[in-house]
């Protein structure tokens, strides 16, 4: 057991040093370092003195939630940590940590044990599974082939290790000696990925341009920052012509459909949208085109229902349109229309209409 634990500690130490040196300035890197520290607690828990077991136990319980956060930061163009899934991830860690002292003291009823411990354990399985499913479903949206493959390998290795560790802790299926084996093998595999592809992994987070846009309080500034760059290649001209014709309005539009319509191999379309237009994933590119048209129509046709606009630009539901609009413009379609109407009136139109809008 001690030999396997030492093997796990050694692998984690090497992984921590490289992660701290190369990735600590990234959000993804910070979360990954927290995962390493939680893994250390997972290894130390059987060896820790009794009066420190509460700390190692609480830290290792955070592994599923941290894995879910990492999946969001790596794969989501705009991570939604404040969501139902985020609440479940927080509950899976916080509820057991807060309730365990009372449960061990025998102060809680069966219902309290279920809500404080058992429900949190079930949420652990749910968030790990959701993280893995999110990886598998969205990895193709990444427009860089090498980065896409590395993301999938990295997170599936980590997801398998976290899932195995979670099951072993909650059900006691595996002996304590397997902790070192689980952590050591996963750490070595991830270490190999990082060493062999450091430059690619540095692209796991959004560009500085995207970060600046997220911090920009004015929605029109974001629209300007994220506007597609013009391209003059044959592929770029074909893409521009097709999109000017409204091809992006098609529901459930996939990259393969676009490649087939252009008569261009899929890898060239990926490269075009990423390297020439500056988008990290396909859905973000399509959403920007749709929201750009919707924004103009909200201003130019103030009496047109928002639902009609959302359907016309390619969204199946008003809720999906509102979500995409808020992510890009940092406001709702209705608020955007209202603000622009007021701005136009302030520029010299009828003040009586302005008063009516203000009311």
| pLDDT tens-place string over residues 107-160 | 777 787 788 888 888 999 899 998 888 887 777 666 766 667 777 777 788 888
Name the most confidently modeled range: 44-53, 161-170, 173-182, 222-231: 161-170
What span, in angstroms and rounded, lies between the C-alpha atoms of 156 and 145?
17
| pLDDT tens-place string over residues 242-297 | 999 999 999 888 888 998 999 988 888 888 888 778 787 788 889 999 999 999 99
- In the chain, CATH 1.20.1070 covers 2-204
Q: How far is the CA of 210 from the CAs of 142, 181, 205, 222, in angstroms? A: 15, 39, 10, 9
CATH label, 2-204, candidates 1.20.1070, 1.10.3470, 3.30.160, 1.10.10: 1.20.1070
* CA of residue 95 relative to chain centroid, distance: 24
Contacts of 200 (CB under 8 A, 6+ apart): 144, 146, 147, 150
Mean pLDDT of 315-321: 90
Is 208-358 in CATH node 1.10.10.60? yes
Selected residue with higher pLDDT from 321 and 99: 321
237 has pLDDT over 60: yes
- In the chain, CATH 1.10.10.60 covers 208-358
| pLDDT tens-place string over residues 75-118 | 776 677 888 999 999 999 888 888 877 777 777 777 877 888 88
> Do residues 88 and 57 make contact, with C-beta atoms less than 8 angstroms apart?
no
């Amino acid at each position: 057991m001690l030999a396997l634990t030492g093997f796990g500690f050694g692998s984690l130490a090497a992984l921590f040093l490289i992660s701290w040196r190369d990735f600590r300035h990234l959000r993804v890197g910070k979360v990954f370092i927290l995962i390493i520290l939680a893994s250390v607690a997972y290894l130390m828990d059987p060896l820790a003195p009794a009066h420190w077991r509460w700390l190692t136990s609480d830290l290792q319980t955070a592994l599923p939630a941290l894995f879910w956060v990492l999946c969001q930061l790596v794969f989501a163009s705009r991570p939604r940590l404040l969501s139902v899934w985020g609440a479940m991830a927080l509950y899976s860690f916080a509820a057991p940590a807060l309730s365990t002292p009372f449960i061990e003291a025998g102060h809680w009823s069966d219902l309290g044990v279920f809500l404080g411990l058992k429900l949190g354990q079930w949420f652990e399985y749910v968030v790990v599974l959701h993280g893995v499913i999110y990886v598998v479903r969205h990895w193709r949206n990444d427009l860089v082939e090498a980065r896409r493959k590395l993301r999938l390998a990295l997170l599936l290795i980590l997801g398998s290790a976290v899932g195995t560790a979670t099951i072993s802790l909650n059900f006691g299926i595996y002996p304590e000696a397997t902790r070192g084996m689980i952590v050591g093998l996963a750490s070595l595999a991830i270490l190999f990925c990082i060493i062999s592809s450091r430059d690619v992994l540095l692209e796991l987070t959004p560009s500085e341009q995207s970060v600046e846009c997220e911090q920009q309080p004015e929605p029109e500034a974001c629209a300007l920052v994220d506007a597609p760059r013009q391209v003059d290649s044959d592929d770029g001209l074909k893409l521009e012509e097709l999109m000017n014709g409204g091809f992006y309005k098609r529901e459930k539009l996939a990259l393969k459909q676009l490649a087939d319509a252009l008569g261009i191999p899929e890898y060239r379309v990926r490269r075009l949208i990423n390297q020439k237009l500056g988008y990290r994933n396909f859905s973000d590119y399509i959403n920007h085109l749709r929201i750009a048209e919707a924004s103009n129509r909200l201003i130019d046709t103030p009496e047109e229902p928002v639902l009609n606009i959302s359907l016309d630009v390619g969204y199946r539901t008003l809720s999906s349109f509102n979500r995409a609009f808020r992510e890009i413009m940092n406001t709702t379609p209705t608020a955007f229309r209202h603000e622009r109407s007021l701005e136009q009136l302030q520029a010299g139109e009828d003040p009586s209409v302005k008063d009516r809008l203000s009311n």
